Copies of this chain bind each other. A is one copy, B any other.
Amino acid sequence: MVRGALASLLNLEPDIEVVAQVSRGDEVVAAAAAAIPDVALLDIEMPGRTGLDAADELARALPACRILILTTFGRPGYLRRAMEGGAAGFLLKDAPASELASAIRRAIAGERVVDPGLAAAALSEGESPLTPREHEVLLASREHATVADLAQALFLSPGTVRNHLSSAMQKLDARNRAEAVRVAEEKGWL
C-alpha cells in the first residue's frame, strides 16, 4: 500500500514517471534490468532480500542507475552500508513527502542526499566492533534458544559459541545474549 501510494504521488509530478514496482528484494535487479530506470528507490526491510543487498548488486548491474534508500529505521549502520554500497541517497520515511520528489531530482542531478542528523549519528556511533563470526553467532542466537542448538546450527563446538557470545557481549556492554541482541539491533550492527 505504501509503495503504491508513493508511486501514485510521484506519477503526479510532471517530470517523474514510475516505470516499475516490485514487492520483494529479490525482484529488484530483474525489474530494473527490464525497465532501465534513472533512479531506483529501495526500502531496506523487504521479503526475500534486503534492500541493501539488492542495492549492491544493482550498482554492479546498472552502474548508471542512481540508488536511493528509503527506510523507516534510521540505523547508522544501515546508512554506512548504503553509502559504501554506492547509494546516492538515504531518506527516512518520517521526512515530509515533498522531500521525496526533490531527493529524486537531486539524485538525477548527481547530488548525494542524506539526512544531516542521521549522518552525524552515523559518524558518532562508529562501525560495528564485532568480528564477522561474532556477528554471525549473535544473528543466529535470535532464532535458536540454547547454546546447544546454536552450536549445531553453526557447526561449531558449544564452547566456541559461548566464547563468541561472551566476547560480543563484552564489546556491546551487555549482560546476556538478549541484551546484546537488543544493543546490536539499536546500533544497526545486526
Contact = CB atoms under 8 A, between A and B. Distances in A.
Interface stretch (A30-38, A56-64, A93-101, A118-126): A93-101
Contacts of A176: 145-146
B8 A97 contact: yes
A95 B1 CA distance: 6
A8 B101 CA distance: 14
Contact of A2 (B23, B93, B181): B93
Interface in A39-74: none
Contacts of A174: 145
A9 interface: yes
A179 B145 contact: yes
A129 interface: no
A98 to B, nearest CB: 8
Contacts of A8: 9, 97
A72 to B, nearest CB: 9
A156 interface: no
Contacts of A175: 145-146
Given A9-B8, A177-B178, A93 B145 contact: no
Contacts of A93: 1-2
Contact of A9 (B9, B95, B146, B177): B9
Contacts of A154: none
A142 B142 CA distance: 14
Interface string A69-92: 000000000000000000000001
Contacts of A109: none
B1 A94 contact: yes
Interface of A: 1-2, 4-6, 8-9, 23, 92-97, 99-100, 142, 145-146, 174-179, 181-182
